[in-house]
Amino acid sequence: MAVHVEVDMGSASSRGRPPERAWLVRLRRSDQTVVVAIGLRRSAADWLAERISDLLDLPDDHSGR
C-alpha cells in the first residue's frame, strides 16, 4: 500500500496557536496515520512534506493541500 504525505490545517493540535502556525504534516497509508509535525507555517509544512516525499521517493502530490 502506498504512503501519502499530507499538509493540512490542524484542528485540535492548533488550539491556542496563531493561524499562520497551525499547519501539520501527516503520513497516511490506508486507514493508518502518523502526524509528523504540528504548529508549522504553511511554507515550512510544504517544505517538510517535499523532503519526506523525496526521502520516500513519492510523487509530488501532497493530498490535503
The pLDDT of residue 62:
57
The pLDDT of residue 10:
82
Low-confidence stretches of the chain (pLDDT beneath 70):
12-14, 59-65
As given in the structure block, the three cell numbers for residue 58 are 513519492
Q: How many CB atoms lie within 10 A of CB 60?
A: 9
The pLDDT of residue 17:
81
**DSSP track, 10-62:** -SGGGTTS-GGG-EEEEEEETTEEEEEEEEE-HHHHHHHHHHHHHHHT--S--
Give the whole-angstrom CA distance, residue 60 versus residue 46: 10
Q: What backbone torsions phi and psi does residue 43 show, to the nearest 5 degrees?
A: -65, -40
The pLDDT of residue 61:
61
